[in-house]
Amino acid sequence: MLLQTVGLCKRFGGLPAINELNMHVHKDEIVGLIGPNGAGKSTLFNLVTGVLMPTSGKIYYDGVDITKKSPYAVAKLGIGRTFQLNPLFGDFTVLENVKTSFYLHPHTSMIEIFFSTRRHRRNEAFIHEQALEILEVVGLQDVPNELAKNLPHGYQKMLGVARALATQPSMLLLDEPLGGMNPGEIDFSLKAIASMRAQGKTVLIVEHNMQVLDICDRVVVISFGEQISEGTPAEVRADKNVIATYLGGGKRC
Amino acid sequence: MKRRLGQHPDAALGAVLVAIGLALPLIVTSRHWHTTLINILLFLIVSVSLRFIYLSGQLSFAHGAFMGIGAYLAGMGSKWLHLPAAATFVLGAVGAMVLGIITGYPFSRLRALYYGMATVFLGLGIVLFISTGGVWTGGATGLSGIAGVFHGATRYYYFFLGLTTVSLLIMHRLEFSRIGTNFKAIAQSHLVAGSIGINERQCRIVAVAIGCFFAGLAGAGYAHYNQILSPKSFDLTATLWILMYVLIGGIGSFWGPIVGTIILLLIPEFFRKLGIYSPYVSGAVLLLVVYLLPQGLVGIPSLIRRLLAARESEALVIAGVPEAPLAAETVTDGKESDQ
């Protein structure tokens, strides 16, 4: 198991956002995490990446306890993420956003950067090439010099993915990557995400758009911070619990 | 690819400024003007280093006090321990840096306004500490009897010209390297910066350490030139003036604090006849900048360019060409100034 949560709880005041959640993600899987608004999906991401501290419970990544690690330490272990409301380095260009995200690999010490050693210059050249490649993967190769804040929403989402890819993660957490995209962009993004598995990346996606189920191996459904269903996309689609949560329970017509 | 220093677009402008600096003592010979010029050189280091800390998203209100730490450490080292000037400069700069790191560590938990408030009180605390330091710091009456380094203001001037040039070159290089990029990344979004593995606290403390080092260095220069120190020179008002140099010049550009420091320190000299009313001129400049130049004085060239472009496009509109590109450009500029 690559990622595992054990009895994870998070309360805001008295309100449980995540309640006794036990879930796991295997290596090389694409797992969809779905659930209605306020189910705790984004909270789960923030707990895993150290932005929030859980009230109780444990989170393990690749056998390491990451429950109390800070965001940068979690990123260092190989978890890349995007954000739902998509903050970005707005005053940087698209290319600068991606190049800045090559902070971990290859990492150069400040002394070497200051004196611009040969190793640093080699790293920078390498980063430049890699950044252009990543832009091609996410379809932003035509706008490298645009300021990030001036991009349309769908492009900003993909820039978020590009930034996460630049940290060379073994696991990607994508928070509503399809939000605000048009159908053409959605098709492109789904293909891009599916292709990431071929490069040995494990993906956990939070999404409202049900098209995402097509590329998932397994789907976890949560509601009010608790897991209510789990299985293949087909199983989850047929699950009475899930239908009740999404469409309301009671009599069926 | 990273540019070599000589190829940076700022290199030519910097070279011109240094050349002017080298020639100035040949043109202005009065001792009074030398003091003004030396003051400008020292405060250039302080204002540029204040903006350097700001790059990482931290606006410090204790920067004048850190300059005071450097000044008093150098002054006391010279007066009580009879250290040579080379040692007192190191003592002042490193001392301010160490205090910056010690206080920067807890403060790096705070952001924006809360960080600013904490540094206000840090600055007040430092000045209070100095003015109650008894015989060691000279207390509220000040510390006198600090050894001079050179004979004659011209030598001081050229020494400080070199010191300022080197300091500004170092900070320029840091800002436009990956180190500065990481600082700017944190300032824009600490969430995103964390998600790509940037250690926010470490970066912020490094920014404070470097900024305080240069403030302390300038403070040591101040102590040896004036040979007498008063805690009042480093209080909150002093910090606010330094902040004013940065803001009026333009906090968004490396040249901002340079332009601001030079102009605001020259205003009282040119309006000497107004006596104690000369700060009103500075105030008027501040108001004009706030109303007309949201990017600071360094925004003047782009304002002129925009006005020229507007006139041109007006002519084009009359000729039947749409003015869409201009509208887009204006919107972008407005947004930038908000940052």
Distance CA A26, CA A108 (A): 32
Of A76, A87, A104, the CB nearest to B189: A87
**A7 and A61 inside one domain:** yes
Of all residues in chain A, the one with the smallest CA distance to B198 is: A72
Residues of B in contact with A113 (CB under 8 A): 177-179
A234 plus A126 within the same structural domain: no
Q: Which residue has the tokens 């190829």?
A: B7
Domain match, A199 and A252 both:
yes
Residue ranges making up the domain that contains A203 = 1-78+169-185+194-253
Write down the pLDDT at residue B183. Answer: 95
Here the CATH number for the domain that contains residue A54 is: 3.40.50.300
Q: How far is B76 from chain A (nearest CA, A)?
A: 32
| Chain A residues within an 8 Å CB radius of B336 | 91
The minimal CB distance from B173 to the residues A50, A71, A114 is found for A114
Q: Residue B228's beta-bridge partner residues?
A: B144
The CATH code belonging to domain B5-282 is: 1.10.3470
**Number of inter-chain CB pairs under 8 A, A vs B:** 93
Asked if residues A187 and A174 have their Cβ atoms less than 8 Å apart, the reply is no
Instruction: Tell the residue number behind the tokens 């009313």, with chain if given.
Output: B277
pLDDT digit string, tens, across residues B149-174: 888 888 999 999 999 999 999 999 99
| Identity of residue B252 | G
Provide the pLDDT for residue B150: 85
The values of phi and psi at residue A226, to 5°, are -120, 150
Count Cα atoms within 13 angstroms, Cβ side, for B221.
Answer: 28
> Does residue A6 sit in the same domain as residue A72?
yes
Q: How many CA atoms lie within 13 A of A52 on its CB side?
A: 20
Q: What's the ipTM?
A: 0.89
Write down the pLDDT at residue B7: 62
In terms of CA atoms, which chain A residue is nearest residue B339?
A91
Contacts of residue B185 in chain A, CB cutoff 8 Å? 89, 92, 100
User: Which of A187-193's residues contact partners 24+ apart within 8 Å by CB, and which partners?
Assistant: A188/A139, A189/A138, A189/A157, A189/A158, A189/A161, A190/A214, A190/A215, A192/A137, A192/A138, A192/A139, A192/A158, A192/A161, A193/A30, A193/A161
Residues A178 and A240 in one domain: yes
Residue B325 pLDDT grade (very low, low, confident, very high; cuts 50, 70, 90): very low
> Over 90: is that where the pLDDT of B337 sits?
no
Q: How far is B55 from chain A (nearest CA, A)?
A: 13
Q: Which two tokens stand for residue A150?
A: 């001036």
Q: Is residue A3 domain-shared with residue A57, that is, in the same domain? A: yes
Q: Which of A95, A105, A113, A122 is best to mutate for the B interface (most B CBs within 10 A)?
A: A113
Full-model pTM: 0.88
Under a CB-based contact definition with an 8 Å cutoff, are residues A222 and A35 in contact? yes
Closest Cα partner for B247 from B47, B58, B13? B47
- CA angle in degrees (0–180, nearest 5) for B95-B206-B123: 50
**Last residue within a domain, chosen from A117, A133, A168:** A168
Nearest to B72 by CA among B48, B81, B50: B81
Asked if residue A96 and residue A161 are part of one domain, the reply reads yes
Q: For chain A, how many structural domains are there in total?
A: 2
**Inter-chain touch A70–B192, beta carbons under 8 Å:** no
Cβ pair A216, A233 in contact under 8 A: yes
Q: Indicate whether A97 and A162 sit together in one domain.
A: yes
Contacts of B166 in chain A (CB under 8 A): none
Task: List the pLDDT tens digit at each of the 253 positions of chain A.
Answer: 899 999 999 998 888 899 889 999 999 899 999 888 888 888 999 999 999 999 999 999 999 999 999 999 999 999 999 998 878 899 999 999 999 999 888 888 888 888 888 999 999 999 999 999 999 988 899 999 999 999 988 889 889 999 999 999 999 999 988 887 888 888 888 888 888 888 889 999 998 888 888 889 999 998 888 888 888 988 888 888 888 877 776 555 5
Q: Which residues in chain A are contacts of B182 at CB distance < 8 A?
A: 100, 103
Domain boundaries, chain B: 5-282, 301-338
pLDDT mean over B22-43: 89
- Among the candidates A108, A133, A168, a domain finishes at A168
B59-98 pLDDT per residue, tens: 999 999 999 999 999 999 999 999 999 999 999 999 999 9
